[in-house]
Structure 1
């Protein structure tokens, strides 16, 4: 359990540049291509638990968020996702997401099973996966976003590493609240508004799609610093340059808590 969750190398992330433009609902309205959208298609009979899919019949995360270390797991190959331990498979959690490894946080344990947060709609959806064929690690990082104060805090091992004023969702396109997690790290080859985009496992509650993508919420930078402290985005969280550099070092699967 001493292993550290993956951080996506920028070389690999650059290969996912098209996905970066497709996914987020807060940027410059870049258009997706058919090749970009191909990742949305399920590989087999079961739907894939990715940011592109909606999964019905699975439990919602209702646990109180904690600031302590979190177990995160990475499936070495696709694993079945069930509504309860030992139940029939409703979906599959793939080994990779957005051209990087899938790391998801564990929110509950049962003998032989782990309930994990999933990156699909609806927000806060969870599922049970078998506790075998998984790499496990501990993340000591927690990212907290306070919508009312328009403030983001990064903590490690309970110690605050930094606090920044950020831009959040506008009233008609609010940033979704609840517990989610850092899903991927994407570095566009030709960045238009941010050198790095960090999608999370949550989606806009008011936009079904944006720019051709599924309305995935993300952390990213913004060139016009006057936006910080204002509710102006399509749901994403725009952060200052130094905050983005710190977030880039946070392991995938780490908890993100968004509150009003």
Structure 2
């Protein structure tokens, strides 16, 4: 192998590592007693280490909600879930209640906290549909604000509590979705299928920057490409997203 080919191979390897395991900005390992309920300053998230059964109640044997694998289905990264509550069962085992990327919006379930690698993030997002603005908060304080395009009147962006499910690089900055896509745990309330997908709502870039600040999308949140790249330096899967009318 020549020196040039060795340098090229190293560059490819470093790029692959960067995409597969982005740095966990503002995150820390969980305390020994388990995850905390979310606050304005911090939200706990869990990265799955193996497939796990999500249950309707925090106990073994409770009805099964779904099975979640450790590999995220769209971008093939690590499945990361946003924790919204915690509880111990009668044996003392800690369970975490997590938001699930499934219909209906707001679906949640319980899984053992010891089946996840627990991390905390100080970042949360608030999207105001009437203002067409996306706000980023760190530890409860406003950090950034960006203009966005939101759902059109006949394909509105759903409101409620969601979380970032994945971060996907498209490798095509000029494409319709721009350079980055952040699928959320929410779905369109009027579209069960769109462009071959299942109506999943996402934050993403755009090839139509002139529509930023308007109601123009099929339910997704569109950002200028430079803004979504800047957002990617702060936001990680599991971060909470609140969408308000």
TM bracket (short chain):
0.7 to 0.9
1:18-167 to structure 2, matched below 5 A, reads 66-86=39-59, 87-97=62-72, 98=74, 99-111=76-88, 112-167=94-149
1:80–1:130 CA contact under 8 A, matched in 2: no
Equivalent position SS for 1:121: coil
Q: How many residues align?
A: 203
* Deviations 1:155-189, CA, capped at 9 Å, x for gaps: 11122221111100001100011111111111223
Q: What do residues 106-140 of structure 1 show as CA deviations (whole Å, max 9, x unaligned)? A: 11110121111011111110001112221000010
Equivalent residue number for residue 229 of structure 2: 245
Shift of 1:223: 3.0
| Distance change (3 Å), C-alpha of 1:9 and 1:149 | farther
Q: Which residue pairs with 1:259 in the alignment? A: 244
Partner of 2:119, secondary structure, is strand
- For 1:90 and 1:181, locate their aligned partners in 2 and report how far apart those are by CA, in whole Å: 18
Cα offset, 1:206, TM superposition = 0.4
Kept after mapping to 2: 8 A contact 1:70/1:138: yes
List gaps (5 residues or longer) in structure 2: 1-15, 22-37, 89-93
Instruction: Please give the alpha-carbon distance, in whole angstroms, between the structure 1 residues aligned to 2:65 and 2:137.
Output: 35
Structure 1 residue matching 2:169: 3-state secondary structure = coil
Root-mean-square deviation (CA, aligned residues, Å) is 2.0
Shift of 1:143: 0.9
Tell me by how many angstroms 1:243 deviates: 2.1
Larger CA Rg, structure 1 vs 2: 2
Contact map agreement 1:85 1:128 (CA 8 A) in 2 = yes
Matching residue within 182, 193, 197 for 1:213: 197
TM-score normalised by the chain length of structure 1: 0.73
